């Protein structure tokens, strides 16, 4: 089997091995592929592996040997799944690989907001402690989380991972989810969305992007929140109406936001969040620990191996 990986760099910038795929066929790996390079690079390959590079109907029409598209991610909107189904092309994704990493990262965003460790480290290295008349100083309020309430919107695997860590910090956990589970109920009290907005000191978003959740953080729902609430989003950028969040940050209604995702990625220079008060933004890296990426690699290889054996798993569409 001829296998082509069109955008392997994010998954494997050099610290992992592609040998699992090599063992399954004749492998070609490209770090990145421009739109105009996709069809030529696929050529007569039977298996195409992508992360964010699109595989459109046109590409499938031109590359008639494609039998399999493996997505190196949970989301698979980069593939025209309807066209693939028509052409009997199997499409797979990676349903769960970064639960621990993403939950940990949500808490890392929260702790950075509460202590501003990076800022104070830079201040020390710039000589401010050395020159300070007192034996210590801080530029931001230092926030203790014990006894505070975290509300988590979307309480699946990742939401529950975040909840367990927050619980260990002494926080009370409440959650909103369309499908409450027994496992979730052992960590959090399930509440309605309005109650969650009203009761939470910290709100963490861990829900998928559906029509019902798009823009769930908007001015109307922000008005229902406590003054000085902290917002965390390392799920999907479009869950937030960004200008509404900026207005709330600048007014102080929301004390701070920790974001690993934005509406358009990479972020555009005119995104208003870049100039908002107390807004920490990281470049969509919650998933990217080496351990998480190795799990992703192992599952992706197993997906293709199962397809070759005639028993495809983790199929979508």
**DSSP per residue, 12-51:** -SSSS--HHHHTTSEEEE-S---GGGHHHHHTT-SEEEES
Going by C-alpha positions, the residue among 237, 247, 180 that lies closest to residue 214 is 237
Residues 225 and 260 in one domain: yes
- Is 55 a member of any domain? yes
- Is 165 a member of any domain? yes
Tens digit of each residue's pLDDT (9 = 90 or more) over 192-231: 999 999 999 999 999 999 999 999 999 999 999 999 999 9
| Total domains, the chain | 2
Query: Of residues 41, 67, 164, 284, which has the active-site annotation?
Result: 284
Query: Of residues 236, 242, 293, 295, which has the active-site annotation?
Result: 236
Tokens 């008639």 -> residue: 64
Residues 244 and 209 in one domain: yes
Residues 78 and 127 in one domain: no
With cut-offs at 50, 70 and 90, classify the pLDDT of residue 317.
confident
Catalytic status, residue 265: yes
Residues 62 and 203 in one domain: no
With cut-offs at 50, 70 and 90, classify the pLDDT of residue 112.
very high
- Is 317 a member of any domain? no
Which pLDDT belongs to residue 92? 98
In contact, 254 and 225? CB cutoff 8 Å:
yes
State how far the Cα of 261 lies from the Cα of 258, in Å rounded to an integer.
Answer: 9
Catalytic status, residue 224: no
Query: Of residues 37, 265, 290, 291, which has the active-site annotation?
Result: 265
With cut-offs at 50, 70 and 90, classify the pLDDT of residue 60.
very high
Looking up residue 169, the CATH number of its domain turns out to be: 3.40.50.720
Residues near 164 by beta carbon (within 8 Å), at least 6 away in sequence: 103, 187
Residues 207 and 270 in one domain: yes
Which pLDDT belongs to residue 216? 98
- Is 272 a member of any domain? yes
- Is 105 a member of any domain? yes
Residues 196 and 76 in one domain: no
Going by C-alpha positions, the residue among 42, 38, 40 that lies closest to residue 54 is 38
Q: Supply the range of the domain harboring residue 39.
A: 2-97+290-308
Residues 206 and 261 in one domain: yes
Residues 60 and 140 in one domain: no
Which pLDDT belongs to residue 254? 98
């Amino acid at each position: 089997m001829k296998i082509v990986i069109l955008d392997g760099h994010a998954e494997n910038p050099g610290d992992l091995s592609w040998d699992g795929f090599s063992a399954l066929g004749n492998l070609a790996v490209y770090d990145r592929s421009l739109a105009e390079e996709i069809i030529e690079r696929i050529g007569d390959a039977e298996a195409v592996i992508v992360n964010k590079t699109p595989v459109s109907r046109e590409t499938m029409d031109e590359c008639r040997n494609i039998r399999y598209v493996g997505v190196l991610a949970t989301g698979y909107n980069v593939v025209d799944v309807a066209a693939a189904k028509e052409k009997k092309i199997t499409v797979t994704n990676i349903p769960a690989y970064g639960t621990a990493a993403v939950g940990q990262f949500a808490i890392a965003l929260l702790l950075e907001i509460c202590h501003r460790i990076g800022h104070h480290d830079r201040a020390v290295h710039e000589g401010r402690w050395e020159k300070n008349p007192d034996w210590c100083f801080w530029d931001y309020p230092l926030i203790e989380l014990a006894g505070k309430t975290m509300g988590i919107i979307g309480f699946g695997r990742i939401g529950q991972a975040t909840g367990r860590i927050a619980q260990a910090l002494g926080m009370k956990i409440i959650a909103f989810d369309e499908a409450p589970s027994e496992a979730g109920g052992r960590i959090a009290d399930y509440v309605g969305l309005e109650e969650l907005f009203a009761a939470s000191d910290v709100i963490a978003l861990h829900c998928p992007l559906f029509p019902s959740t798009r823009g769930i953080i908007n001015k109307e729902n922000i008005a229902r929140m406590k003054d000085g609430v902290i917002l965390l989003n390392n799920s999907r950028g479009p869950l937030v109406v960004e200008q509404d969040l900026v207005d709330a940050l600048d007014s102080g209604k929301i004390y701070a936001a920790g974001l690993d995702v934005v509406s358009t990625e990479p972020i555009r220079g005119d995104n208003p969040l870049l100039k908002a008060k107390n807004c920490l933004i990281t470049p969509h890296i919650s998933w990217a620990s080496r351990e998480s990426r190795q799990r992703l690699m192992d599952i992706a290889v197993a997906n293709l191996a199962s397809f070759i054996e005639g028993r495809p798993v983790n199929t979508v569409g």
